[in-house]
Structure 1
Amino acid sequence: MPTRLTRYILAEILKIFVVALIALTLLILLIGVGRTLLREGLGPLAIVQLLPYLLPVSLQFAFPATALFAVSCVYGRMAGDGEVATVKASGISPLRLLQPAFIFAFLLSPFAVYISDLAVSWGRPGINRVVMLSIEDIVYRKMRSQHSYTDDGFSIHVRNVNGKKLEYPTVTISSGGVPIKFEAREGQLVLDAESEQLMLKLVDSRWVRGESLQIFAPGPTEYPIPLSDSPDGEDQESTRPGDLPLRVIGTERLRQDARTHEAAGELAAQTSFSILTSRYEEIVDGKGRERRAELDASRRRLMRLKIAPWRRWAEGFSCFFFVLIGAPLAMISRTSDYWTTFGRCFLPTLLMYYPLFILGLNQAKDGAIPPYGVWLGNVALGAIGMILVNRVRRY
């Protein structure tokens, strides 16, 4: 009987989970495509290319919610229809009924960790690359409608757009903190996908840098606008720790630790030399300030590399802790209505988990707590879940 009951509960959970996962993933996909379309103005081909990269990002957010929805629906209906009371009357502990949900969530969580890792290390960079490779179409589409385009690295204003020809363009490019301004009779933008650069082709142009430097360039000239900080995609030192896959974080952390020790040694040597030569102003100004800034940046990156694996596993195993609260709470609620049960389980979980997760993450980034402090939300849900399970035991 327990084996048959376990199979029955697992089948019900999986059935609802699969249907809800498909529906929620499609909804998140549509929202993601819509946001990107409105923000970037992508064409139909770029939207199709975007979908594979959006899928793991959508699943990353869908897994915890759909796992909670599935178990809350199943156990809420069983309790509301009196099935739990019937099973208990037959001599089977209510805790036995919760085992399939806990096994399901525990097995789902490592897969959720993998999806989370795939989303941040492959999905999000892929989305950025699709947008980057579509930048030429995006820029021209916006300039035709608004006669201007503004991005983090550059801005363009034109009098008119005739096909691919820009009439009297004014282009401002941020370069090393000193903007470069181009004014020309006509121009054109061409994407160089291999080097990930947008080539600015100008005719009869004037270049202005700062307040003093002006260059007049009659005839055709070209200027590259970089679209990526690491064109080859392999410079892990310049990659955000949150975008690195788990398999390389350990190695990169060792390298960053060595870089941090090297920066600390250089700062100590420079400070000692300044003291020996009585150049005390160098300690607080110039090279001393630059060395300290490099050391602080290196330490921040090292801390984020330490946090990233804990964060990835905490996000994945939120599935288990959501179910640890949702299953017993749904059984205690004794409501057959799916949405009422889900609301009672989801809202308290949502309002508790994510603020605690963000609090632990921020405190860990500041160094106030160890990197495993990102599990603060999971631990809180686990403690409450054990209280609810103990209450079900006396059901």
Structure 2
Amino acid sequence: MGILQRYVCGEVFRAFALALLTMTIIFVLFMVAAEALRSRMLAPMDVLNLIPYVIPSTLPYTMPVSLLFAVTVVYGRIAGDNEIIAVKSAGVSVMAVIWPTIFLGAAVSGFLWQTSRTWIPQSAHQAKLVLFKDLEDLIYKYLKRDKEFSAPGMPVFIKVHDVEGRLLIKPTFKKKTKNADNTDSYSETIQADRARLQFDLDNKLVVVHLEGAEVQNHEGDFDVTLLPNQTFEFPLPSNNNAFALKSIQEHTNRELDAELVIAKERLANDRKRQAIGAGFLFASGRFNRVDGVNGVNWGVAGVNWADVGQAANQNSYWRKRCNEFETEKQLRSSMAFGSLLFVILGAPIGIRFAKRDFLSAFMTCFLPIIGLYYPLMLFGINMGKEGTMEPYKALWISNLVLAVLAGWVYPRIIKY
């Protein structure tokens, strides 16, 4: 790499680093503030613990935009200072000034492509787990924010008037029970003036210490009685992170592939399996299942119409899941490759407009490209998730448009 290439690459890299630092700080502050306002559960230490995991999630947005900004500003300035004309007057092609930055764009794209498959989704999930690392603290946070708490697999619904530290004010505990149709109902309600929760993690139990408690049984005569020993206990959910399940964006590519295999298998076979089974039973005259009458169990198999209907309904669900998984995979690759295309298009556009000052380069080069690329990206995401277009086509529309524009502008810049 010659002196000219090192000079241009150094200018672009300095502008890129400064823009990336600035945009990352803004994005992190915005995302942490948004999460704090949304959840209302973040203590100051939670915010500090959250920041290292939020930063990777911003990189697919901040790195390409920072690189485009650096390229348009630097190439606009050197063109405005007639340095490009000086290069061409010396018999050197303008591509000698551009190709070092293209390599930088390729390096950024490669970095984003690899990290968006593993590190970034893992960090996004770890950011969520900052709120879920301590089950006891989490339950108190939910009670303080929502005044109620119920988790999957938890046999008690808790509602409070207020929370003061670790003290529940005017709590209500409703014990759940399973009905024959697998729905939940409440078998008992306990009300108290105050309560404290004691977590026995070794035995996976929560012991509730009550003050001024009374209990009402919903299965008998509904009489209200005083709770004799002012304590009761209930088991913790078997999966403490049932409320911290991964979203699609938090899956690594390997996990997305595994989920995609399951979704495609269910999509291909569930409905077909139920239809074939129902067809055989229907053909043999067993239209409905007969369990027996008057206590006699005949056990005659028949068409389970509920399962047939559920399989038909689930078909659209699994199709949607396939589209969402495939869209997420294509989105990661498309956004990573966008960094390279930002450089390929941004450099000649910056040279063509030759704006020396920052504001002019920002308005004439940076904003039009951003205003074209990201709306097309959002359009592709919606089409991919809805199944209107195959995700591998929909998510690359924006990159294809930038590539076409670059192919149109380069001959004019080379002749410039």
Smaller-chain TM-score bracket: 0.7 to 0.9
Contact 1:201 1:222 in 2 (8 A): yes
Give the corresponding residue for 1:187: 195
Q: Give 2:295's aligned residue.
A: none
Counterpart Cα distance in 1 of 2:322 and 2:146: 44
Secondary structure class of the residue paired with 1:132? coil
Cα deviation 1:56-109 (Å, max 9, x = unaligned): 012232101111111111101101111111111112222332212222111210
Q: Does the 8 Å CA contact 2:118/2:253 hold for their aligned counterparts?
A: no
Query: What letter matches 2:62 in structure 1?
Result: A
The residue number in structure 2 matching 1:378 is 399
Q: 1:217 to 1:119 in 2, by over 3 A?
A: farther
Look up the match of 1:245. Answer: 252
Deviation at 1:389, TM superposition (A): 1.9
Relative to structure 1, is the Cα distance of residues 97 and 157 closer, same or farther in structure 2, using a 3 angstrom cutoff?
same
**Structure 1 residue 53: Cα displacement:** 0.8
User: Separation in 2 of the partners of 1:213 and 1:269?
Assistant: 50
Q: How does 1:11-90 map to 2 (within 5 A)?
A: 11-39=10-38, 40-90=40-90
Q: 1:142 to 1:297 in 2, by over 3 A?
A: closer
| Contact 1:132-1:227 at 8 Å conserved across structures | no
CA–CA distance in structure 2, aligned partners of residues 213 and 66 of structure 1: 66
What secondary structure does 2:132 align onto?
helix
> Could you tell me the TM-score, scaled by structure 2's length?
0.78
Aligned CA distance change for structure 1 residues 161 and 290 (closer, same or farther; 3 Å)? same
- Over residues 18-65 of structure 1, what are the superposed CA-to-partner deviations in whole Å (9 max), with x where a residue is unaligned? 122122212222222222233333112222221221120122321011
| 1:283-322 superposed matches below 5 A | 286-322=306-342
Q: Aligned residue for 1:102?
A: 102
Residues 173-231 of structure 1: CA distance to partner in whole angstroms, max 9, x if unpaired?
A: 99987575955203335678899x99583644657999x99998934233467597865
Equivalents in 1 of 2:175, 2:358: separation in Å? 55
- Alignment counterpart, residue 222 of structure 1, candidates 233, 252, 274: 233
Cα shift readout 1:268-323 (whole Å, capped 9, x = no counterpart): 22441463237399999622221122333223223333333222111111111222
* Shift in CA distance, 246/177, structure 1 to aligned 2, threshold 3 Å: same
**Per-residue deviation, residues 239-263 of structure 1 (Å, max 9, x unmatched):** 5443221234334433433333331
- Contact 1:133 1:193 survives alignment (8 Å): no
Kindly provide the amino acid, as one letter, of the partner of residue 37 in structure 2: L
Aligned equivalent of 2:296: none
Corresponding letter in the other structure for 1:168: K
SS at 1:105's partner residue? helix
Q: Residue 241 and residue 27 in structure 1: after superposition, are their counterparts in 2 closer, same or farther (change >3 A)?
A: closer
CA distance in 2, matches of 1:205, 1:131: 33
Q: Deviations over 1:333-382 (max 9, x none)?
A: 11111232123223222222122112222222232222212111111121
Q: CA deviation at 1:13?
A: 1.0
| In 2: Cα distance, 1:304 partner to 1:386 partner | 32
Measure, in 1, the Cα distance between the counterparts of 2:386 and 2:63.
29
What amino acid sits opposite 2:272 in the alignment?
Answer: G
Output the aligned Cα RMSD: 3.9
Q: Secondary structure at the match of 1:286?
A: helix
Give the conservation status (yes or no) of the 8 Å contact 2:198–2:207. Answer: yes
Q: Identity of counterpart residues, as a percentage? A: 24
What TM-score, normalized to structure 1? 0.82
What residue in structure 1 maps to residue 345 of structure 2?
325
Letter in 1 for 2:31: G
Do the aligned residues in 1 keep the contact of 2:20 with 2:66 (CA within 8 Å)? yes
Q: How many Å separate the matches in 2 of 1:340 and 1:182?
A: 68
Q: Is the 8 A contact 2:373 2:398 kept in 1?
A: yes
2:167 — aligned with what? 165
Q: Could you tell me which runs of 5 or more consecutive residues in structure 1 were left unpaired when the two chains were aligned.
A: none
- Cα shift at 1:126: 0.9
Provide the secondary structure at the position in 1 that maps to 2:131: helix
Cα gap change, 1:161 to 1:121, in 2 (>3 Å): closer
Q: Which residue of 1 aligns with 2:2?
A: 3
* Structure 2 unmatched runs, 5+: 290-301
> Relative to 1, partners in 2 of residues 1:90 and 1:49: Cα closer, same or farther, differing over 3 Å?
same
**Structure 2 counterpart of 1:267, one-letter code:** Q
1:140 Cα deviation after fit:
4.6
Correspondence list, 1:341-352, <5 A? 341-352=361-372
Q: Which amino acid is 1:327 matched to? A: A
Instruction: Give yes or no for contact 2:67–2:339 (8 Å, CA) kept in 1.
Output: yes
> Are the aligned partners of 2:49 and 2:130 in contact in 1 as well (CA < 8 Å)?
yes
Structure with greater Cα Rg: 2
Amino acid in structure 1 at the alignment position of 2:132: M
Q: Report which stretch shifted further, 365-374 or 223-232.
A: 223-232
Count residues in correspondence.
387
- Of stretches 108-117 and 221-230 in structure 1, the one that deviates more from structure 2 is 221-230
Counterpart of 1:54, as a letter, is V
Distance in 2 (CA, whole Å) between partners of 1:245 and 1:147 is 32
Structure number with the higher helix fraction is 1
Give the match for residue 265 of structure 1: 272
| Equivalent position SS for 2:231 | strand
